[in-house]
Structure 1
């Protein structure tokens, strides 16, 4: 013990013992490994703007740690030249990876600046990453405690445009609204106190439809004053009439293309809900400004860009995009809005995301300050994967909080006289929620002049080396899954052995494979395979689009990945076909110019669009044919793309040509996407519930199908 203590003392005098040096060097290697894995995770998550806030945070943390580790390696006198060069090369590899990632979403580049703001969440993630690498993060200086506010909005390190300050100085006091306070503090009925109600409310949209569509009772269409040359369609005027008669919360879930923007703007006018806040994806905020000029030209709109230097603080309508909301949430919460519209509201379905938390905080602040504000959630695809995608939207609208229904919804449930164990509760609960303001109309029901659309699959054979490689990789993946399945079955007792396929084990094996694929194990997986299939289909899809354009005129070409777009554009250029391009890294002016070229120039026959950057907010109805070169993971994303041409004013049948790689997992994914298309129909349109599992994960089910088919093939041998 004495010798051990002496060794420890000597180590302390030398500043660091030999064992400590070994641990530190191991941590250095581990940190680079952790950063490499995190950079790859971020790269997979970024397919183009908008990038989720949590992914942006991880991107910034990787950049910070690479920068700090590089400086430390350069200053470490314990490293010889060869070791230092090797570490610097590894760090350069990570830096190159995040640089390539930023190319797909150029808004990430601002996070690489030396003066980029580091949020508290980024510091927390940074500390977690360092600890996972065996390093102790430095202590952060304690921040000043935030002043209490109700509801709380973090304003640390946020911007405030000068014109907003001028508005506040011109009118420094917001008049107290005692009606708002009374409404929030009103006593709640107590019969259902103690019951868990949120889960039954969500499930009521699966079990209580009884063939009825999800649409509140709306007033009869009535004339709505509109600018000269513009006229609302009857279904649009119904929502405006409801707002005029006093209704104030809407989940406007009309199918894409039915004019939700105009309905929202004129509903705000009818409710006098000014100032009005509009939150939208970046790609459509300029379109919102244009729609304000068209439908409510007497109202002034201002669009928030960057730090808001050009914001008009005295405008009637403030338009801001999700991606920069964190910088402006402070002053937005204090401006005194009397209405709020959230466009593409399915963007907030993840309640843990920063964007969702900002939206909910702003909504709560508005409801605390204004009596019966106008709150509208706009989305043609409110459900993506699960019925609980409703949760954040309902909370934004003030119908629920984290634990229970609120106000009028709770009172409506009380008035039913039913509890969740009573027969008829689900139907009554569903009706109560719908009456809060769910509006869902289908094109076939309300717009007779919008032609039916169809999706036509175009199977293609992947020939040559690429096709052989993909089929070999798919066979190898299937063989790996079968091997894992056999091992799992063998681990069971001999009595349970059977030749029949154990579907429970199949799902466990598939789930394990999906988890490994998400962790980037380096082996061929479902994500890399689908990416390779997309690359292999690129030239075939472009060839089909080129032929199609010669026969039918203008064609919209959608792809998910930049390299697929690049291949298609190169083929069009080689064939002398003029095209326009819509990508996520374009400035608004370039984007507007390219859209105008496709819409107005008869010589531009094809527009090549990013599925993520151009899937919402565009009107490309000059075309009636669309090519989907790559498959999405959701029917909602595919539908959003098709609805760029299937919109009000389209007078031609719309056909979406979906390019499918035959005899590959591509075909299975297409089937699964189609099966998911019934989700919104079951929950919102009252269609029969043919698929009881509404939360089906396409990626998981694709692997389940691959393994099941492989096992079935073995049984036939």
Structure 2
């Protein structure tokens, strides 16, 4: 896919334009900060105003960027403020296109209606063929068009054929794979201004960050191979402090990141704790038996990881399921109690009895089924959400209005796009390889609007693969912190001309 973009001239043309436009930022120190825009029905917090002003500088220069504020700090509002400013200035000569995960599309429509009622918004919910109407007709007269990553990929040619004032990629980790069609569609879309919005610009490795920057700032690091050689390998493998400092210096003008600790002093604390669960004897014996078998299999294949990746991943997934509930792997174990489900229920009953409300996440819908059966038996009301849930909003309202004090959510379906500050307890029933996915889930409750201390419990089965997953998370979390969350606050301060000059060194 990358070779195709190079061959078509997309990479060279975008890189040249980016290098030309970035020089306009060199007199940034003399620019007056943009006032809060007309048409925005919200009072921006000081850090949101600074974020909007930074976006305005980029917009005026025709440059893109990455808004990487912590989850729950109002990134959508800052982007809407920019659209309001562009409309008030008569600069929306074509619509602004927002691309988001399917589950977040409706949230953009609600936020726009609430905070930017003067914008003409169109939500694209299906392909033009399915709706029986061309995309151009659907978006005619719109200021803001919201669609999903799936629809952008499926209808790429339709989107590429239309003019756009700008492109906003929400939850931009969805384009982290530069070899995927969704990435290519975002890269090729004709828009002078492109903005990536994400609380997790680095999920797995530094190529996630490169992919986003290559879309919004295509001339910064034009080649993935050179970025790997000059930055990724020295930082990830050797921890080279000079290369790390150089990377931070180069991305600083085009990335804005503020953490909750820096800007939301009124946000109550978040207390996190690991609850270690000891498997009962029958559960333990089943797990150990399968562990020996899968270990022999994986160790025989791991030398050729690429060739056997699927088989190895299947073995790891099997062990993760066994650590939760043996019956997820084989119905013959249906009579074996799930140690983790029992421990969770015991903890949850006490929390609910004290009047608290809880979000409960698992990456396995099968295990959520086990938990549902136990809640039903205990007479505890709950709401449930996974990828197959049709009446998503109704389930959300059941929890919000108090009819259900417990909300069971699959990590994939509810890890983003939800604002559930009614909860003050969060349970993560199984650790996922990627700490960013867990952080996204936890921050459904710990975000602006929360007025209670949020208690986070991660349940980990002792002496199982889950403890290895937690160790892997720690290494990934360390990479994220070293690149983005340095103590100097370099990615949260005001932009200077020296920062801009750093783009050329």
User: Which TM-score bucket, shorter chain as reference?
Assistant: 0.7 to 0.9
Stretch of structure 1 that moved more, 284-293 or 234-243: 234-243
CA contact (8 A) 2:152 2:159 kept: no
**Structure 2 residue 284 is the aligned partner of structure 1 residue 457:** no
**Corresponding residue for residue 133 of structure 1:** none
**Corresponding residue for residue 235 of structure 1:** 47
Normalising by structure 1, report the TM-score.
0.55
**Structure 2 residue 82 is the aligned partner of structure 1 residue 255:** no
**Structure 2 residue 218 is the aligned partner of structure 1 residue 399:** yes
**Structure 2 residue 153 is the aligned partner of structure 1 residue 326:** yes
Deviation at 1:686, TM superposition (A): 1.8
**Structure 2 residue 442 is the aligned partner of structure 1 residue 642:** yes
DSSP 3-state at the match of 2:412: coil
Measured in 2, the distance between the counterparts of 1:181 and 1:654 equals: 45
Q: Which runs of 5+ in 2 are unaligned?
A: 2-6, 225-240, 326-337, 489-505
CA contact (8 A) 2:34 2:53 kept: yes
**Structure 2 residue 370 is the aligned partner of structure 1 residue 567:** yes
**Corresponding residue for residue 263 of structure 2:** 446
**Corresponding residue for residue 526 of structure 1:** 316
Aligned pairs (5 A) from 1:593-608: 593-600=394-401, 602-608=402-408
Measured in 1, the distance between the counterparts of 2:123 and 2:447 equals: 25
DSSP 3-state at the match of 1:520: helix
Deviation at 1:150, TM superposition (A): 7.7
Measured in 1, the distance between the counterparts of 2:10 and 2:382 equals: 50
Deviation at 1:443, TM superposition (A): 0.5
CA contact (8 A) 1:453 1:653 kept: yes
**Structure 2 residue 435 is the aligned partner of structure 1 residue 632:** no
Measured in 1, the distance between the counterparts of 2:306 and 2:259 equals: 37
**Corresponding residue for residue 584 of structure 1:** 387
Deviation at 1:181, TM superposition (A): 13
Deviation at 1:183, TM superposition (A): 4.7
CA contact (8 A) 1:456 1:656 kept: yes
Stretch of structure 1 that moved more, 348-357 or 305-314: 305-314
Considering only aligned residues, what root-mean-square deviation do their CA atoms show, in Å? 3.5
Deviation at 1:428, TM superposition (A): 5.2
Deviation at 1:514, TM superposition (A): 6.0
CA contact (8 A) 2:41 2:116 kept: no
**Corresponding residue for residue 374 of structure 1:** 193
**Corresponding residue for residue 280 of structure 1:** 100
Measured in 2, the distance between the counterparts of 1:516 and 1:428 equals: 36
Measured in 2, the distance between the counterparts of 1:291 and 1:218 equals: 33
Q: Which runs of 5+ in 1 are unaligned?
A: 1-52, 54-147, 153-179, 190-215, 367-372, 406-422, 485-508, 689-717
CA gap 1:327/1:676 in 2 versus in 1, 3 angstroms: closer
Deviation at 1:300, TM superposition (A): 1.3
**Structure 2 residue 324 is the aligned partner of structure 1 residue 512:** no
Measured in 2, the distance between the counterparts of 1:233 and 1:453 equals: 21
Deviation at 1:426, TM superposition (A): 6.5
**Corresponding residue for residue 102 of structure 1:** none
Deviation at 1:551, TM superposition (A): 2.5
Measured in 2, the distance between the counterparts of 1:661 and 1:403 equals: 44
CA gap 1:673/1:512 in 2 versus in 1, 3 angstroms: same
**Corresponding residue for residue 7 of structure 1:** none
Measured in 2, the distance between the counterparts of 1:219 and 1:447 equals: 27
CA contact (8 A) 1:220 1:238 kept: no
CA gap 1:188/1:671 in 2 versus in 1, 3 angstroms: closer
Deviation at 1:217, TM superposition (A): 9.5
Deviation at 1:568, TM superposition (A): 1.2
CA gap 1:186/1:644 in 2 versus in 1, 3 angstroms: closer
**Corresponding residue for residue 354 of structure 2:** 551
Measured in 2, the distance between the counterparts of 1:342 and 1:352 equals: 17
CA gap 1:424/1:560 in 2 versus in 1, 3 angstroms: closer
CA contact (8 A) 2:40 2:115 kept: no
| Deviation sequence 1:378-414 (CA, Å, 0-9, x none) | 0100001111212221111133388459xxxxxxxxx
**Corresponding residue for residue 434 of structure 1:** 252
Measured in 2, the distance between the counterparts of 1:643 and 1:220 equals: 34
Deviation at 1:453, TM superposition (A): 1.6
2:187 to 360, 381, 390: 360
Measured in 2, the distance between the counterparts of 1:221 and 1:461 equals: 57
Measured in 1, the distance between the counterparts of 2:109 and 2:343 equals: 39
DSSP 3-state at the match of 1:297: coil
CA gap 1:516/1:545 in 2 versus in 1, 3 angstroms: farther
CA contact (8 A) 1:539 1:567 kept: no
Measured in 2, the distance between the counterparts of 1:217 and 1:385 equals: 35
DSSP 3-state at the match of 1:326: helix
| Deviation sequence 1:83-137 (CA, Å, 0-9, x none) | xxxxxxxxxxxxxxxxxxxxxxxxxxxxxxxxxxxxxxxxxxxxxxxxxxxxxxx
Measured in 2, the distance between the counterparts of 1:326 and 1:582 equals: 26
**Corresponding residue for residue 123 of structure 2:** 303
DSSP 3-state at the match of 1:612: helix
Normalising by structure 2, report the TM-score.
0.77
| Deviation sequence 1:499-543 (CA, Å, 0-9, x none) | xxxxxxxxxx78338668634389x93221012212343443344
DSSP 3-state at the match of 2:76: helix
Deviation at 1:562, TM superposition (A): 1.4
CA contact (8 A) 2:361 2:427 kept: yes
CA contact (8 A) 2:73 2:448 kept: yes
Measured in 2, the distance between the counterparts of 1:611 and 1:463 equals: 26
Instruction: Pick the structure with greater CA Rg.
Output: 1
CA contact (8 A) 1:221 1:234 kept: no
DSSP 3-state at the match of 1:448: coil
CA contact (8 A) 1:342 1:377 kept: yes
DSSP 3-state at the match of 1:261: helix
**Corresponding residue for residue 290 of structure 1:** 110
CA gap 1:427/1:574 in 2 versus in 1, 3 angstroms: closer
DSSP 3-state at the match of 1:382: coil
Measured in 2, the distance between the counterparts of 1:187 and 1:352 equals: 27
Measured in 2, the distance between the counterparts of 1:665 and 1:462 equals: 13
